[in-house]
Amino acid sequence: MTVDTRPINTREDIKLSNAQIAWRAAQDIADGAYVNLGIGFPEMVARYQPPGRQAVFHTENGILNFGEAPAAGQEDWDLINAGKKAVTLKPGAAFFHHADSFAMVRGGHLDIAILGALQVAQNGDLANWRVGSKGVPAVGGAMDLVHGAKQVSVITEHVTKNGEPKLVEKCTFPLTGVACITRVYTSHAVVDVVGGHFVLREKLAGMTVDELQAMTGAQLHIEGPVGDLVVPEL
Amino acid sequence: MDKTVGSLAEAVSEIHDGATVMIGGFGGSGAPIELIHALIDKRPKNLTVVNNNAGNGRIGIAAMIDAGMVRKMICSFPKSSDPRAFTDKYLAGEIELELVPQGTLAERIRAGGAGIPAFYTPTAYGTELAQGKVIAEFDGRHYVQERWLKADFAIVKAHFGDSYGNLTYNKAARNFNPLMCMAAAKTIVQVSKIVQAGEIDPEHVVTPGIFVDRVVEVENPQQEEELIRAGVAYL
C-alpha cells in the first residue's frame, strides 16, 4: 500500500469570502429573532438580514436592539457594544445591567448566538478563546454565550491558513464549552451537529463530497439531501 | 440624610491598603475615571481590583497598575487596545490574575450583594476555568458551583444621583455598576449631576440609595476612550 503524501486540495479557488459566510448564516435568522453576534467576524452577519426580516440584536454589555455604528465624530462612548465599538439605537431599544444581560443568555431567552471558532468537534465542543497556555488569557463572555441560546452556530473558514481542519473529532485547543454547537457555516459547507456527529447539509456545488471530507477532520455523515451552498457575489 | 460629599479626595479617603475594590465600567463606558484618579493620588497599595477588564492605555485602572497599587485583578478580559500596563506586570509575575467568565463575574457580584454565597451555572463546565470547582448535575445537565464576590469598596459612575444615593445611569454605562453598588461594604459614586431628593422619579431609579454610601458630583466626566485616543497618561 502506498501512502498519498500529496497535500490536500483545500479548494481555496472556490471558497466563500467571510461576507458570503456571514450572508449564509443571516438567511437562517427569522424575523423578530433575538440574536447575539460574537465580537469580530460574526458581527458581519447583521449586514445581511434578508429584506423584510428584522432581528433584535443583543450585546452582552447591556443593550437590546442596537444598530449600526454612528458616523465618525458622532460616537457616544457610553453607547458601545461588547467589542467596545460605538453603536446606535433602533426604536424599541432597551438598556439593562450585566446580570440581566447574562440571564438573557443562560436563561434560554436568545434564539441564536453566532460565534467564531478555532475548532469545532463532532460532538459540538467549541474551542475559540485561546490557542495555548502562553500569554495573557482572556475569556470575556465566550464561555457564557455558548449556553442557553436555542441555536448556537459557528461561522468559520473550513480549514486554517495552514490547511488544517477546523472541524475535528476532538478539539486540541482549550475548550470554550462542551457539546454546545448546533450548526457550523464554513467557507465550503453547512454542517449540523446531530447526536455526536457532523451531518452535511449543504456544500459548494463546485466540489465533491470526497473533496470536502478530505479537508474535514471528522466523518461527515449524509442523512437526507445535501443542498448546494449558493450565495450571491458580495 | 445627605450622602453627598464635596470632593473626589474625600470620597475615596477611606480606601486603604489591602482593600478589595470593585471598579465599575465595561471598557470606558461607565468607568469612574475621576474617582480612579483620585484614588491614584492617595496611592493605597496591595489592592485587589474587580473590573471586567484590566485597564487600557496609561489612565484609569492601567495607571493604578502602573503605580504599583494592584496586587490582583479579578476580571474576564484583561486585554484592550493598549494593554501594556497589565500585560507587562502579568508576564513579569508581578500581578495575580483571577480570570472569570463575564456572565459568571456579573452573577458572582450580584450574588455577593444579594446574600447568596454560591450558585450553579452551566458556564465553563468542561473547561480549564472549572478545574477544582464543585460540579453538580441538575435535570441531566452539568453545572459549575461559583461563589459570591464581595468587596470592601465599590467605585462607580452614574448619571444622576440624589442625596439619598438613588441613581440613574447613562445608556450602556450601566453595565456592572448597579451590581457593584450592591456587593460592596461601602459604595462610592461619581455622578454627572447631584439633584434634589424627589427629582428622580421613583419609577426611574435604577440603583436604590440603600446600596450607596457616598455621592460626589463630577460635571462633564471624561471618557476613557477619548483620553486614550488623545494619548493621555495620568501618571
The set of catalytic residues of A is: 60
| Of residues A112, A174, A177, A38, the one with CA closest to residue B122 | A177
Distances (CA, A) of A13 to A112, B17, B206: 31, 61, 55
3-state secondary structure of A205: coil
Q: What percent of chain B has pLDDT over 90?
A: 99
User: In a mutagenesis test of the B interface, which of A90, A139, A152, A181 is the best target, namely the one with the most B β-carbons within 10 Å?
Assistant: A139
Q: For chain B, report the end-to-end CA distance as a whole number of angstroms.
A: 36
| pLDDT digit string, tens, across residues B110-121 | 999 999 999 999
Confidence category of residue A6, pLDDT binned at 50, 70, 90:
low
The closest CB to that of A84, out of B27, B106, B125, belongs to: B27
Name the minimum distance, in Å, from the CA of B108 to any CA of chain A: 9
Distance to chain B for A143, nearest Cα, Å = 6
Q: Which residues contact B194 (CB under 8 A, 6 or more apart)?
A: B4, B160, B161, B162, B163, B215, B217
Instruction: Compute the average pLDDT of residues A185-194.
Output: 98
pLDDT tens for each residue of B175-190: 999 999 999 999 999 9
Which pLDDT tens digit goes with each residue over A111-120? 999 999 999 9
End-to-end CA, chain A: 46
Contact call for A178 and B223, based on CB within 8 A? no
Which residues of chain A approach chain B closer than 8 Å at the C-beta? 59-63, 75-80, 84, 95-99, 101-102, 105-106, 125, 135-144, 147-148, 174-178
* Cβ pair A27, A112 in contact under 8 A: no
C-alpha cell at A7: 497535500
Interchain proximity B99–A178, CB inside 8 Å:
no
Locate A1 and state its grid cell: 500500500
State the pLDDT confidence band at A1, using cuts at 50, 70 and 90.
Answer: low
3-state secondary structure of A121: strand
Global confidence as pTM:
0.96
Give the A:B interface size as CB pairs under 8 Å.
142
pLDDT 10s digits, A30-42: 999 999 999 999 9
Closest chain B CA to residue A132 = B128
Q: Where are the beta strands (DSSP E) in B45-138?
A: 47-50, 70-75, 96-99, 118-121, 135-138
Nearest CA distance, B103 vs chain A (angstrom): 5
Cβ–Cβ gap B77/A140 under 8 Å: yes
